[in-house]
Amino acid sequence: MEFLELLSPSYFLLAAAGSIIGIIFGAIPGMTATMAVAVCLPLTYTLGLHEGLALLLGLYVGGISGGLVPAILLNIPGTPSSITTTFDGYPMAQRGEAERALKICIVASLFGGFFSAIILFFFAPILADFAIKFSYVEKFLMIFFAMSVIASLSKNILMGVFSGLIGVLLSLIGTYDVSNGGNGEYRLMATWMEPYLAYGFSLLPVLIGLFGISTIIEEAEKGVKENSLENKVNLTKGTPFRFNVFKGQTGNLLRSSSIGTFIGMLPGIGGSAASILSYTQQKNLSKNPEKMGKGAPEGLVASESANNALTGGALIPLLSLGIPGDSTTAVLIGAFTLQGLQVGPLFIGENIDTWYSMVTGLMFANVVMFIAMFYAIRYIAKVVLIPKFILYPIIVMMCAVGAYAINYGIMFDVWTLFLFGVAGWIFGKIGIEVAPLVIGFILGSSAEVYFVKSLESYGEYSILVTKSPIALVLWGLIILSIVLSVIIHRKSKQQATEEAAQ
Amino acid sequence: MKNIMHTAKVMLLAGSVVAAPAITFAADNPIRGNIRIVIGSKSTGGDTYQASSIIAEALAAKIDANIKVDAVGFSAGYQALERVPSGNTLMIFHDQAYLGHLYKQKGYEDPFKQWQIGPSFATNPGNGYLVPKNSPYKNMDEILNAAGNGQTIRVAIQPGGVSEIGYTAMKNAVRLAYPGQEDNLVALNTGSQSDKNQAMFDGLADVINGSVQANEQYTRLPADDQKAMNFVWLTAKSSTLQNANPEGMGQTSRDELLQYASGLGVRVPMDAENDFTFDKEFFFLYNKRMSPEVVAFLDNALAEVFADGKVQETLKKSFFIPNFRTSAEAQKHFKAKRDSYAKIIESLQK
ipTM: 0.87
A154 CB-near residues (< 8 Å, 6+ apart): A160, A161, A163, A164, A433, A435, A436
> Domains in chain B, start-ordered, CATH in brackets?
2-123+280-349 (3.40.190.150), 127-258 (3.40.190.10)
In a domain, A376, yes or no: yes
Cα B345 from chain centre = 19
Q: With H, G, I as helix, E, B as strand and everything else as coil, classify residue B68.
A: strand
Cβ–Cβ < 8 Å for A146, A443: yes
pLDDT (0 to 100) of residue A377:
86
pLDDT above 60 (res B21): no
Judge whether B249 is closer than 8 Å to chain A, CB to CB. yes
In a domain, A2, yes or no: no
Chain B residues within 8 A of A316 when measuring between CB atoms:
none
CB contact under 8 A, A198 and B189: no
CA distance B14 to chain A (A): 6
Stated length of chain B: 350
The confidence band for B8, taking pLDDT boundaries of 50, 70 and 90, is: low
pLDDT above 80 (res B349): no
Among residues B245, B280, B229, B240, which one has the least CA distance to residue B262? Answer: B240
In a domain, A194, yes or no: yes
CB contact under 8 A, B106 and A175: yes
The confidence band for A493, taking pLDDT boundaries of 50, 70 and 90, is: confident
Among residues B70, B225, B334, B237, which one has the least CA distance to residue A331? Answer: B70
pLDDT in tens, A200-223: 999 989 999 999 899 899 988 988
pLDDT above 60 (res A452): yes
* Pairwise CA distance, residues A316 & A322, whole Å: 9
Please give the residue of chain A at the shortest CA–CA distance from B192: A179
A291 CB-near residues (< 8 Å, 6+ apart): none
The confidence band for B20, taking pLDDT boundaries of 50, 70 and 90, is: very low
* Report field, pTM of the whole predicted structure over 0.80: yes
CB contact under 8 A, A457 and B188: yes
pLDDT above 60 (res B2): no
Chain A residues within 8 A of B108 when measuring between CB atoms:
none
Pairing of strands B127-132, B207-211: antiparallel
Alpha helices in B46-102 (DSSP H): 47-63, 74-83, 96-102
Judge whether B104 is closer than 8 Å to chain A, CB to CB. no
CB contact under 8 A, B105 and A17: no
What percentage of residues in chain B have a pLDDT greater than 90? 76
Q: Considering CB atoms only, which of A181, A198, A457 is closest to B107?
A: A198
What range does the domain containing A185 cover?
A: 7-501
Judge whether B3 is closer than 8 Å to chain A, CB to CB. yes
Judge whether B346 is closer than 8 Å to chain A, CB to CB. no
pLDDT above 90 (res B25): no
Average pLDDT over residues A462-467: 93
The domain total for chain A is 1
pLDDT in tens, A436-448: 999 999 999 889 9
What percentage of residues in chain A have a pLDDT greater than 90? 54
Average pLDDT over residues A401-407: 85
pLDDT (0 to 100) of residue A267:
82
Q: Which of B198, B219, B316 to mutate to test the interface with A (most CBs of A within 10 A)?
A: B198
In a domain, A1, yes or no: no
pLDDT above 60 (res A243): yes
Instruction: Give me chain B's average pLDDT, please.
Output: 90
Write out residues 208-247 of B within 8 Å (CB-CB) of A: 213-218, 220-221, 225-227
Average pLDDT over residues A388-408: 87
B349 CB-near residues (< 8 Å, 6+ apart): none
pLDDT (0 to 100) of residue A133:
92
pLDDT above 50 (res B16): no
CB contact under 8 A, A337 and B215: no
pLDDT (0 to 100) of residue B188:
93
Q: Considering CB atoms only, which of A39, A178, A321 is closest to B160?
A: A178
CA distance A323 to chain B (A): 6
pLDDT in tens, B93-122: 999 999 999 998 888 999 999 999 999 999
Among residues A132, A118, A113, A52, which one has the least CA distance to residue A345? Answer: A132
Judge whether A341 is closer than 8 Å to chain B, CB to CB. no
Please provide the DSSP assignment of B266-325 as one string: B--BSSSS-B----EEEEEEEETT--HHHHHHHHHHHHHHHHH-HHHHHHHHTT-EEEEE
Chain B residues within 8 A of A41 when measuring between CB atoms:
44
pLDDT (0 to 100) of residue A240:
84
pLDDT in tens, B290-341: 999 999 999 999 999 999 999 999 999 989 999 999 999 999 999 999 999 9
A391 CB-near residues (< 8 Å, 6+ apart): A383
- How many other CB atoms sit within 10 Å of the CB of residue A242? 10
Average pLDDT over residues B275-288: 96
CB contact under 8 A, B218 and A338: no
pLDDT in tens, A336-359: 888 878 889 999 999 999 999 999
pLDDT above 80 (res B252): yes
Q: Considering CB atoms only, which of A39, A51, A324 is closest to B45?
A: A324
Q: Report residue A210: phi and psi, to 5°.
A: -65, -40
CA distance B24 to chain A (A): 24
